[in-house]
Each structure stands twice: as C-alpha cells, then as structure tokens.
Structure 1
C-alpha cells in the first residue's frame, strides 16, 4: 500500500440520521506521526466546514502525536485508547493533548477508569457493543455518561442499534443499515416510486417538456422535491430555479436526469432512509469525482447516477432487478448495479470498499484506477460535504 488511505463510517442518532462521520486511517506498514499528520494536513482545503463532527480513528497508533504537525479542525475529534495514555509514551501523549486541547473521544476498555483520571477532558466516550447484554450496555452507558457523550462501536444489525438506543447511548457508528430489512421487502414499486420512474423515463427519452411537466403535476410533492434539490447548496447554482420549464432551460435534460434520479433515492419509507440516502449521495458524488480525467466527461453524470442507485434495493424494498426492469437506463449503469462489470463497476467497487475496514483492498482498487491516496481521500471528503449539503 502506497500512502495512507481513509475509510469512512457514519455515526447515526436515534432518528437514523448520519450526524457525524468516523474516518479511519489505513497504512500498508507501520504508520508514524509524520505520515498521519501529512495525510490529514493535505486535506485542509477540502475539510468540510460546519458543525458535522469527524471522528479520527487510527487503531494501533497514538494519533495524538500527530497533532504537533496538524492543525486539528474544530469539528475533528481524535479517538484514543487507554493504552495511548497509560502505555509507553503515555505521559508525553497526555502532555501534548493538554497543550493543544483538541476534542477527544476515549474508547472504553478494562482500563477506562484509570484513563479517565489522566487529567484530560473528553467530549465523547465510545464503547464496544459486541457481545454485550442489554443490561450491560445500560450499566456501562450510565457510567460513561458522567464524563461525556456516549457512542457505540461494532453494532452489526438493527436489533443491536435499537438495544443501544434503549440503553441510553446517544449515537452509533455502523453500516448495519445497508442490509435490507425483511419487513420491507416487496415485489413491486409503490405508486409514488413508480411515478418518479415514469418521469425519469420520459426525461431519458427526451420527451416534450409539456409531457414531462404534465407528469410532474400529477404529484405536487414530487415537483416540490425536485425544485428543492435543484436549489440546494449541493447544486451550487447562482440563480434560483422556479419551475420545471426553467430547470430545463438552465440545465438541459442530461443534467436534469441526474437530479430527478435523486428523487427516487428519497422515495424510501424504510426507517433507516435518512442514513441510506446520505450514504447513497456520498457514493454518487464520490464516484463522479473519481471519474474526472479517467473517463469521458459525458459519462460523469452516469457515474453519479450509478452511485445514487446502488442502494435502491434497500431504499425501496425491492430487488435491484425489479427496479431496473422498469427503468430506461444505459447498459453500463445496469451492469454495474447488477454486479456484471463494465465501465462504471471499478468506481462502484471502490466506493463500496471504502465503507469497510480493509485498507489494503481500498489501496488496490484505487491503484487499479491510477488514483493516489491523496486524490482519493480528497474526493471522499468532498463527497461527504456534498451529501451533508443535500441533506440540509
């Protein structure tokens, strides 16, 4: 592995919204403070503004040492383990953190009591939810809440998520929601979803503006959502779009198709829809950004749509085959979504792999596309900022 690659994980609140992001640093060999600091400092100009928190995880390495060479953003939180504070070099680590005073998250373990007495202030405490009973979760959460906001790690399913919330835990860092719920699986799109697909197909077929407008007017909420997305901060237009006809004039059908695609992504009734939509939007912008300079510019929007649609089976509660049967999509998009390879598949594979913990796999897939660690990391942060802007 050449360079330090970042993977990402959402942090969800009780309303299933991604309120923060957990970034993990992966290096091929032993990572030192300089490599960690340089990786993070290289992202300064694309670091997302705002209140959304970014937890920085680097297991096995005392990340605190990197703060000497990295101006920690106000919305970044450094994760620490008891070993960082109590093991060799612990006193130096504590001294550095006391001097710089970044926001901290202490990961609870058997030595958490001793670590809490080191003289540092913690904004967050993280507990490992694996193998814990509901009673155990509640007891530990109550103890940790005396020292900061409690989040849970290693939650692998919806039942575990609910158990954490019932235990009084404030938020959960996990991708568990990408697995479809057995309660939401159905055989066909509902009427609202089918109407969005109808409008999308009309736009893809370059139907007359009046015909598309008529289809939109059959669903007032659909028209409102479309204009809301087009006028969002994530789109970055210099003027406000006031009607569908105005949107066609300003954007043209090709760009409009991209934004109509977002409506389908937002049509989910799944309880985890807010988290799923944020993840889909992040994938969409990440794939689009990674494609710049690697494929024909006319393909960029299709990369975006591929990423946005990559979670439609979970979002809409139907199989991917069922969704695609009703849509007029390019073959390359369908191939990627069905796992059949094609031009867009390597970008989708990389976007999905960067949601895991296999740094070597991320590096390998990025290398196959000729992407450096820095360019990939920058694209991830920009994609997260885009998803945040769209979710506002």
Structure 2
C-alpha cells in the first residue's frame, strides 16, 4: 500500500466524521494583543506552511482504496479573526461553542485558526489577551498529537516526531483474524489466572448519556501544577470530577450510588511507536465517589494502571493488526451503516475525560507569551458532558463542555469542581 495512504484507524476517523462530528478544538491564551495583527497572522501562515502535518489534506476519490494524503497549501482564509461584542472570557467561550457547529471537511480545509483579540478576564492573564483556537480535523489526531504542530506554528523551536504509518495487506486478513482469535483466547486464560487484570466493568447510562439538548456551554478551572500535588494531574482531575459529578447528579435527582457505579471513558495513548495519527484507545475507569478523596485517588490510579497492563497484552496488538488489514471497501461499508442515534443499555463511561500535555510554555503569538491552554472534546449522542486536562508549562486547565440536559447549571457544577480541586 502506498505510504501516503491513510491507515485504517485514521480512515475510520475520517469517514466517521460524516456520521458524528469530531473536530478537535485547542484553545490558547496569550498575554497581550499584537500591534500589527495582519503581520502576526502572516508569520503564523508562514510557519504553518513549513509543517508536514499542517500542509496536507485528505483525498478520497478511490472507493476501493483507503484515502490518500495530498499536499495542501496554507491559505489566508484559514485564519479567521473574531471581534467579540462581549469581550469577556465567558463571551469568548460562548463564541467558541458556536464554532463547533461549523465542522471541517478534511478533504477541503483540514484546519482553521480562530483568533479573538482583546479578550478580558482570561485566567492567568491580568490585562487584555489574545485567544487563539485551533480547529483541526481529528484525522490528524486528537489534542495530544495536534498540540505539537500548533506549538511549532506559534514559534516553538522543535520538530514534531513523524508518524510511521502501518498499513495491513487485505490478503492477510484471514490469517490476522485467526491470530487475533488465538491470542484473545490467551487473554481470557491470563485473565482467569489473574496475570492480567479483568476488563473494565460497564456503566449504567445516566442523564449525562442522554442525547445532548438545551444550552451548550464551555467552562475552565485553572490551577498551578503544584496545587495538584499528591497524585498525577490526570488522577487528581478524575477524583475531582468524581466528587463534583456525583454531587451535581444527586442534586438533579439521580444518585449514581443507587445505580451501582459512576465511570469515565478515559483516552489512553497506545504503547510503542506512533503507527497512525490516532494512536490511542479508550478505557473505562470507575470514579468511586463513595470513597474519601485520598482513597478515591488511590483506587483510580490503580485502575488506570490495570487498564494499561491489560492494553499491553499481545492480544490487543493482534487485534490491531487484523483491523489494519481490513479492506477499505469493507470498512467504508460498515461505517456507512453506523447509526449514531442507536442507544445502548450500558456505556463505557458517564463522561469522557482526556488529557493533553502541551509541554513547555515556550511559544507565543507575535511576542505575546502563552499562559493558558485548554482542549474541548466534542459531545456525542451518548455523551452530554466531556472534560479535558490540559497542561502548558506549570498551568493546568480542567475544561468542561456540557449540554444543559446533562448537567443542568454548568456554573454550579464548576463551583463543585473548584471545591473538589482545592
């Protein structure tokens, strides 16, 4: 297969975007406003034009084959400046929510940068700020991958590690499937003997799993990394979400304890070299709101370790190799029959929680240093509230994107999160 073909998992992400929108939104807060915004945007366009990731788009003109990556010339139309009537931080986040409905077509425009100059009240910034939001197709990866090219566009002196794609030969699918079945039997045996942790338990759907309805809102809770000492940033965030979400749901008349569990669907990077842009999986993590805070953190950390150990079993890689060999036509047909409105009796989690590490705060917008980074995973028919833990330098942002139907008063929920993180 040609090296410029999308891998099976990236093609799946591309085709699924027509059934269920999945653009990634990365937000950066810069301290200050450029005096010459046009010149600043021209610098960004020139830097983007040197990025292998930001100068490609998808071509899907061969029904029997996987789509191809083709060159894409960075265009000035990809940079959109928004002058807000309400220039507050809340007004800016409301404007970002409105962007979600205008999803990208990766075959035409793989990314856009939305710029909001003169925003006031941005956390970590005392005066007027420039907020830049990178809207980028998920075909190029989630926030954990796309934050790299974004930082380089903003001036980071580094190279983003290249993706080394792995393409399966469809002729090997029967053999790969047989190998996957055999190693799955080994996984079942190892699970019974206790050498591999069992699969995560499924959760009962809650109101957070209803189709999103009503007002959609974005909020952020910002902390210094040192304030989250005693656990990893992700564990601290999950423990706080557990406390806040359980309390909010109880006030809305739904007690998670009465339904047996409260859980989160957590993204987890796959081990080994990056074989595709979307080199991650999702795992279910029990949030254990009934436990005291430190016990809850310990339980969540142990379950994350268990999920990582199970994901390292050879059966998982064998399953991936079989999927890599799926004929393009077959995968395309299967996705065309996916029904996003279908309901499930159980779910992996009652919310989604992902993590993005943007690294050092070593980039800027025309000299205005970065002070804040946040990411907002999208809502889906089965998830009405998502969270993301994003770090840049020593600043950690816990972002929330929620529909009113899922959480009720989002500001009341955020106050609970703030208290749980204190």
Q: What TM-score range do you get, normalising by the shorter chain?
A: under 0.3
Pick the structure with more strand per residue.
Answer: 2
Pick the structure with more helix per residue.
Answer: 1
Give the TM-score of the pair, scaled to structure 2.
0.25
Give the TM-score of the pair, scaled to structure 1.
0.26
